[in-house]
């Protein structure tokens, strides 16, 4: 950093000069939206799915390897990039009162099948999902459920509604 401080010393310096309460750190949950081409394999499933569907007419999703989740019922908090931008701008506008670490997501967990339904509907095509084996290297690391707890974000006065998943996919 331009002050020549280690992370620990930066934290101390930020505290001493009064910056710490204004510093915001964010963790975005499963963001999707326009202009993802540059992200390669880190593109959202929405982006990848459109290519798969245009090429093969179907979408491939991982099978579940847990008895408590049927295939396609794994859940994620999908966040539309337009909502992510609004949340981020909220912090810029409330920099003096919103310091801390925040989870940014829709606050809802949707299944992969709900996402697939939204993608196929937006493309005007019938749903056609093939479940494929999850690579063994992912099985122990795979998250079956994610949902951002956005209560802390809401406590800063952020009151905008999130774009419903199907609407966000259609807009994208």
Q: Cβ atoms within 10 A of the Cβ of 129, count?
A: 18
Query: Does the active-site annotation cover 39?
Result: yes
Catalytic residue among 2, 3, 7, 141: 3
> Could you give the CA distance from residue 68 to residue 49 in angstroms, rounded to a whole number?
25
Query: Does the active-site annotation cover 48?
Result: no
Catalytic residue among 39, 48, 63, 152: 39
Minimal CA–CA distance to 90: which of 21, 14, 155?
A: 155
List, as own/partner pairs, every contact residues 64-70 make where C-beta atoms lie below 8 angstroms and the sequence separation is at least 24, other chains included. Answer: 64/144, 65/134, 65/139, 65/142, 66/144, 68/144, 69/144
Q: Which residues are catalytic?
A: 3, 39
């Amino acid at each position: 950093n331009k002050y020549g401080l280690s992370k620990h010393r930066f934290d101390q310096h930020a505290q001493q000069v009064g910056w710490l309460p204004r510093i915001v750190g964010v963790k975005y949950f499963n963001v999707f939206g326009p202009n993802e081409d540059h992200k390669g394999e880190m593109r959202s499933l929405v982006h990848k799915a459109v290519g798969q569907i245009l090429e093969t007419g179907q979408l491939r999703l991982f099978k579940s390897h847990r008895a408590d989740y049927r295939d396609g019922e794994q859940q994620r908090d999908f966040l539309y990039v337009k909502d992510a931008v609004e949340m981020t701008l909220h912090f810029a506008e409330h920099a003096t009162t919103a310091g801390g670490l925040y989870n940014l997501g829709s606050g809802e967990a949707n299944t992969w099948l709900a996402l697939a339904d939204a993608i196929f509907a937006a493309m005007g095509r019938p749903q056609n999902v093939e479940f494929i084996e999850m690579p063994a290297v992912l099985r122990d690391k795979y998250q079956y459920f994610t949902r951002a707890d956005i209560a802390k974000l809401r406590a800063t006065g952020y009151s905008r509604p999130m774009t419903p998943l199907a609407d966000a996919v259609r807009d994208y």
